[in-house]
Each structure stands twice: as C-alpha cells, then as structure tokens.
Structure 1
C-alpha cells in the first residue's frame, strides 16, 4: 500500500512540475512558484521557477512548510497572506497543500509574488490623496534552502519575543518557547531537538524534557491526551 501511495504522490508531483513554469511565466519576473514534497523536509523543493524567495531544487522547506507539517492532514490552504522575507522583500503568497487519494497531506504548491513596488505606488497615491495611514506590521518569513538556517531563525524569533537569553527565562517562559516552536512545526524536522538545544546552549536531555512538558501542558489546556 505504501509503495502504491508513493507512486501516486510521485505522479501528482510530476503532473504539477510543468504547472510551476506556467504560473511563473504568466505572472512574470516578480513571481516565483515552488513545488514541495514534504516526504523529505530537508530537501523538499522538487521544482521551482522564479527567484523572489531564492529557492533552488533540493532546498529545504520554509517555516510555512514546517507549520503545514505540524498540522498534518488537518492542514488547510493558506491563501493571499502577506509577509516579508528576511531580506526585506514584501511578498504576497499562497500555499496550496497536496493530498493523495487517502486525504493525506504530502506536499504543497506555493506561489510568491513580490508586491513591494505595488505597495510603494499605493502608499504614494495614498499620500497624494491625503490617506496617510501607517502600514500594518508584517511578520518576517524565513525562506531558506538550508533547513538548519530556517530552524535557527525560528528559535531566534521566538527567543527575541521574551526577556533575553535562556538563562534569563523562567520556567513558564521556557515552556512557552518550546510550545511555540512545536506549534510552528520545528520539531517535525529530523534532528531539530538537538539543533534547538545547541542554539539555546542546553543539553539534549533538557530540550526533550521541556518539549515533553510543553506538549503535556498544551494537551491539558486543550482537553487532549498526551
């Protein structure tokens, strides 16, 4: 059964590969399209056209992909959300999950459009018209071909929301940090617990302990079971 499903998934990816180029050509150089196979998170990019997010075939999933992995088969399409790359590019994106005939999520088709120039023009016209509302603060998304860099960026982002270094965090804040990373799908990546431990300067055993406690706290608060 597994071999049949994998063959089906391979066929879906093969059918979508020319679609990647077609969408990118239609929207032009301000667009890139990325096809992901989440069976291999560390090298999930199987096809790419365009260069907005700097992805290459064989590159890793972004933190958006990690979030999809964390939600499993309950993941849904995320359409027309706006974010910034770490380089400052304003991007409007859509992530459409791929499912096999059993309904299992195994990949995604992602479309990213650089809307920086459009936003600048909109702001200029708004200023000329006297509509000087400040733009909303947008989240920063890490699009990296190296899964380690994506994990590191997520750890840094979560830690920066708190008081400071790991040693300065109290128990609740440490659990919140691990819970937040887990919700974002970081620990769905192979070896991520060890990487997070190294990034925080703690032992692997401590990292596993805090992750276990964070999950138990989450299950208790949502009425689930560990």
Structure 2
C-alpha cells in the first residue's frame, strides 16, 4: 500500500500499518493543532517516519529518522515488558517541550514493527493557569479561601509529565541525531574526546551502545570524530564494551 497523503511517495507501506495510517488524521482532529502525531516504521531507523500530522510543531516530516528514545527502547527491548510509555518529556531541536507518549505497534507474531507517538504542547494551558493564579493572588481569593497555589512547574510546557528530565529529543536528521548523542555522552564524561584515555573511550562507546546509537547508520563515523579515533578503533572499543557486560 502506498499512501501519498501521509506516506513517502513510492514507499511501500506494510499492511500492518494501514489501521494506524487511517487513525492519524482522526487523532489530529480530536487532539487539535497542538498535538503532533507521528508513526514510525522501525525497519529503517534512518527514515522511520512514515506518517505525521502537525509535524510543524517539531519541524519533522515523513522520511525523518527515529528519535534517541526509539533507539533506546529497541536496544534495551523495553517493549517486552510493556505495550506503551506515557507522559514523558520530549524536546524539539528548536527548544520546545512536549508531554509525549508512545504506543508500540506489533505484527501478528507480537514483534514490534513500529511506534505511534503523540507529542502534546501544554504550554498555553499552563500559561493560562499561571495567569489565573496571578489574578487570584491579586484579588485575594486564594487568601480568603485559605488555599495556597501549587508551585509553578519546573518546565511549563510539560508540567503534566511525570518527570522534568528530557527523555526524548526529536531530531530532524540522522546526522543531527548521532552527532548530538555522541557529543552529549562525551560531555557527560567530563573529558574532551582528544584527552580521553582508552578506558574512558571504551566507557563512552559502552554508553552509546546502551542508548542504541549504533543501530543508526553513520553513528560509528560520528563517534570516531568525537573520540578522535579511527572507525576500526570504534568497532574494537564496541567489541570490548560488549564483552565487559
């Protein structure tokens, strides 16, 4: 099945995705323009997005790559213990925050073949709440009722999330996804790649592997650049890291 309205032109869509393709415009109509809805086919992570509604929220479009969270889920096989994740914090490349949820799409054998993701921009709702609290403070309504307002959310655009820690980054390209994740891992270790010891570089590769980054084509070359080593050396570190688990 080829769906020109929501899918990449000339890209063959698996029949298992047909019900979800029909569901996307319904969800977009129901949830409104502040909810981005994305359907991923995990058979090709470099261009996993096969359908999207309200993609302007994150800047993503059909043919875009999987996110870092999708890679981590696949690498750690989280889908074996649950069918979905809800109310976690995601961030777009433009800095916007979303309250996000992901449903695992399975085939008849129960294997995960894709993911249906909803990203909700709660910013206006919480701005309105803060405005209302400000007004009630001014008029003394809160004082007369003896109630105190809740503390403002740490991240207003995702205050309904169970955590204010970003769990997913909505990357626009494969290069961006791999480069940013490699750079963050190196930064988290606190040592520039050029000054890392071999053991520290193995640790960096281990963390990247646990995050599923090496499931993405081109990740090894980005890791080699950030760690100031050759690609064969990254493969050697990867073998060492997996052997030490």
Picking from 170, 173, 178, the partner of 2:205 is 178
CA RMSD of aligned residues (A): 2.3
Deviates more, 1:119-128 or 1:148-157: 119-128
Matched, 1:85 2:92: yes
Q: Which moved more, 1:164-173 or 1:86-95?
A: 164-173
Name 1:11's counterpart in structure 2: 15
Show structure 1 runs of 5+ residues with no match.
1-8, 219-226
Q: Which residue number corresponds to residue 155 of structure 1?
A: 182
- Paired with 2:36 and 2:192, the residues of 1 have a C-alpha distance of 37
TM-score, L = length of structure 2:
0.76
Q: Which of the residues 69, 75, 80 maps onto 1:74?
A: 80
1:26 counterpart = 2:21: no
1:37 aligns to 2:44 (yes or no): no
**Alignment partner of 1:196 is 2:223:** yes
Matched length: 210
| 1:35-74 alignment runs, 5 A limit | 35-50=39-54, 51-72=56-77, 74=80
TM normalised by structure 1 equals: 0.82
Matched position secondary structure for 1:142: strand
Separation in structure 2 between the aligned mates of residue 81 and residue 162 of structure 1, nearest angstrom: 25
Counterpart-to-counterpart distance in 2, 1:23 and 1:113: 12
> Structure 1 residues 158 and 87 mapped into 2: Cα distance closer, same or farther (>3 Å)?
same
Mark the structure with the bigger radius of gyration. 2
1:124 shift after superposition: 5.0
Instruction: Answer yes or no: is 1:97 the counterpart of 2:104.
Output: yes
Alpha-carbon distance between aligned partners in 1 of 2:81 and 2:50, rounded to the nearest angstrom: 20
